[in-house]
């Protein structure tokens, strides 16, 4: 049986903790008000973030609706499945970190339940 993945999801504005393990920002844009030092990142995995078009559509729609969230996830998963070379390299970096210990995916969105890091963790756990 495969070992379960240890992937946490956390808002980047929360302070870094020792239990976070390797911290990866998975947003396309750098979050306002966060210095690179405070972020304490292993890496910024921008290629794993949703495309600009998908991100803008999701935020323009009612992001709180189940329908918008489901549509976002399906489209984001399709982008991840289609991944190019940069995405494959970012996934390789993330996979190596997960094998080495705990990993925390960081996001800047206000919603703790509906954001790209939550969706990415779901996709990683199901692949």
Query: Which pLDDT tens digit goes with each residue over 20-75?
Result: 999 999 999 999 999 999 999 999 999 999 999 998 888 776 556 888 899 999 99
b (16+ CB within 10 A) / e for 11-25: ebeeebeeebbbbbb
| 69 inside domain | yes
What residues make up the domain containing 50?
7-126
| 1 inside domain | no
| 2 inside domain | no
Residue indicated by tokens 């756990």: 125
- Number of domains observed in the structure of the chain: 1
| 14 inside domain | yes
| 76 inside domain | yes
- Model-wide pTM > 0.85: yes
Q: Distance (Å, rounded) from C-alpha 29 to C-alpha 40?
A: 16
Bridge partner residues of 104 (DSSP): 8, 23
How far from 116 is each of 37, 38, 75, 108, CA to CA, in Å? 23, 21, 11, 10
């Amino acid at each position: 049986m495969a070992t379960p993945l240890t992937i946490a999801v956390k808002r980047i504005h929360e302070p870094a903790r020792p239990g976070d393990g390797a911290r990866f920002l998975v947003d396309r844009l750098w979050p306002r008000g966060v210095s690179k030092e405070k972020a304490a990142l292993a890496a910024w995995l921008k290629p794993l973030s949703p495309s600009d078009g998908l991100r803008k559509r999701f935020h323009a729609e009612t992001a709180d609706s189940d329908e918008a969230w489901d549509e976002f996830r399906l489209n984001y998963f399709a982008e991840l499945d289609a991944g190019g070379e940069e995405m494959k390299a970012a996934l390789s970096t993330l996979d190596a970190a997960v094998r080495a210990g705990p990993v925390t995916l960081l996001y800047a969105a206000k919603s703790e339940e509906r954001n790209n890091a939550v969706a990415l963790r779901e996709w990683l756990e199901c692949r």
